[in-house]
Structure 1
Amino acid sequence: MLIPALYGLGWMLTQPLLLVLPETTASRLSLIGTALSLVLFVVILPSWVRQRWSSRQPWRILGLRSRRQGPSSGRCLMTGLVQSVGLLTLISLPLIVGSWGRWLGELSAADALNALALCFGVGLAEELLFRGWLWGELAQFTRPRTAVVTQAVIFSLVHTRFNLDVLPMLGLLVGLTLLGLVLAVQRRLNDGSLWGCVGLHGGLVGGWFALQGGLLQISPSAPQWLIGPGGAHPNPLGGLVGIAALTVVLALQLTALAKAPRP
């Protein structure tokens, strides 16, 4: 109930703003409420981890502070960003080769800033929530593998658009679940650091925004199985290419994890 309670509190705190804000700003009240909820979440998180998880180092156990013997935060972040570029390249190439897309390479300063904000804002916020707090909560009362799968399923359900037809919706559920698993295994490979997940997740979100914002012109006739469901705002992770790419990445990660030395 923590997240719904914080979201409700953030919404309540924004309501007095209706009296003083102009209509154009008041229409963005939901976004302001979400930002307030996130701030409240970050403020209470250290105390929550200390009391419920019995940890004296909340930011380290959440993955925001790297372990001394593990890879640095900057290295993990850069690795995740490079992985996101690779995945987006795999998704974009069939569009260009199949004549459903044309490389423009144009991006306005405003769109570039929005892409960066999405990359680091959404990446950090959602990874702290799902691969940080939620995974840690689930690990308190379930088996490790159950916690990994459950956080991925919840992540998928939260992001899936249930107004889609059955097959596109199932494709999106599968793709997002795979992404949740990939991000969880990435954190394991990074010795608990969350920054690799931030780079990979944020890079996918910000990178796809940049591609649609002017770098790549996508034809309206691009097939849904390739570009993913969503119509004018497709999510490529729900397409066959996205699902296949994530499956390969997950298989490679699990192989690397199996070969990694045990602590």
Structure 2
Amino acid sequence: MAQPIAYVMPGASASRLSLIGTVITFILFLLVMPSWVRERWRSRHPWLTLGIRSRRGEASPTACLIEGLLRSAGLLALICLPLLLGSWGRWLGELTAADALNALLLCFGLGLAEELVFRGWLWGELNALMGPREAVIGQAVIFSLAHTRFDQGVLPMLGLLTGLLLLGLILAVQRRLDGGSLWGCVGLHGGLVGGWFALRSGLLQMSPSAPQWLVGPGAAHANPLGGLVGIIALSILLWRQLTALASAARP
């Protein structure tokens, strides 16, 4: 559906056409989802089932979103502080208007889109097909495979798979802790993506000699979730979430 745009915009690059195609696909996804949830999941309130709306008396979407953003800021700080203290990075604090807009779009646009796909639709489908426990693990595995680059060697690949798997589990548990609301996941996921983009785009100057165990694999496109610090931080966060979930389940 995006290909005809090439005739209207002859100078459009393949990446731009791909992005336009992705946007069109997601719009179609949004249009289909309400009827899909009503028919397949037998739900009378699809957006409530998907976590976009909240029930009365539960945590507000705004509060969940802010808490998720704060968690993402804390995780990014664990990466930035060693960079600054270890002389592998220098704080610049410079961000153009275009980069700031891109960071916001990544945070709220990409964060919402991916959470609606993975922790909304996919989790619900797997839950209907496999059961709740298998669905949590299954969506995290698919999430990690969909985001891992397989051209960086075995150890970097395993690091990314582990970090992304942990993040997928954390986001699923976060939704449980938020009473089914998806907005805490949007804040955490989107904050990590948008925040890291903003840091790399001008807020923080990173040395090429920055260790991989800290910034993760990928060189110029490093992903800190695949580094040792990121994996440890995510493991601790998951452990704390599971402890809180267990405490909330006790009578």
TM-score, reference length from structure 1: 0.93
- The partner residue of 1:111 within 99, 115, 119 is 99
1:163 aligned residue: 151
Contact 2:89 2:206 in 1 (8 A): yes
Distance 1:94 1:15 in 2: 46
Shift of 1:26: 5.8
- The partner residue of 1:35 within 10, 18, 23 is 23
1:241 aligned residue: 229
2:171 aligned residue: 183
Shift of 1:94: 1.1
Distance 2:250 2:44 in 1: 24
- Aligned-pair identity in percent equals 71
CA separation of 1:24 and 1:16: change in aligned 2, threshold 3 A? closer
Shift of 1:24: 3.2
Q: Which amino acid aligns with 2:42?
A: S
- Are residue 58 (structure 1) and residue 46 (structure 2) matched? yes
- The partner residue of 1:145 within 133, 143, 156 is 133
Q: Which amino acid aligns with 1:210?
A: A
Q: Which amino acid aligns with 2:116?
A: L
Which deviations, in whole Å up to 9, do the C-alpha atoms of 1:145-187 show, x marking residues without a partner? 1100110000000000011100000000000000000000000
Distance 2:222 2:14 in 1: 28
C-alpha RMSD of the superposition:
1.2
Deviates more, 1:253-262 or 1:215-224: 253-262
CA separation of 1:30 and 1:86: change in aligned 2, threshold 3 A? same
1:80 aligned residue: 68
- The partner residue of 2:188 within 200, 216, 223 is 200
Contact 1:148 1:184 in 2 (8 A): yes
Distance 2:13 2:131 in 1: 46
Shift of 1:20: 2.0
Contact 1:38 1:125 in 2 (8 A): yes
Q: Which amino acid aligns with 2:51?
A: G
Secondary structure at the counterpart of residue 102 of structure 1: strand
Distance 1:224 1:51 in 2: 47
Deviates more, 1:53-62 or 1:138-147: 138-147
Secondary structure at the counterpart of residue 217 of structure 1: strand
**Aligned pairs, number:** 251
Distance 1:146 1:153 in 2: 10
Secondary structure at the counterpart of residue 55 of structure 2: coil
Secondary structure at the counterpart of residue 82 of structure 2: helix
Shift of 1:19: 2.0
TM-score, reference length from structure 2: 0.97
> Any stretches of 5+ residues in structure 1 without a counterpart?
1-12
Distance 1:245 1:27 in 2: 33
Distance 2:232 2:124 in 1: 28
Q: Which amino acid aligns with 1:165?
A: G
CA separation of 1:138 and 1:27: change in aligned 2, threshold 3 A? closer
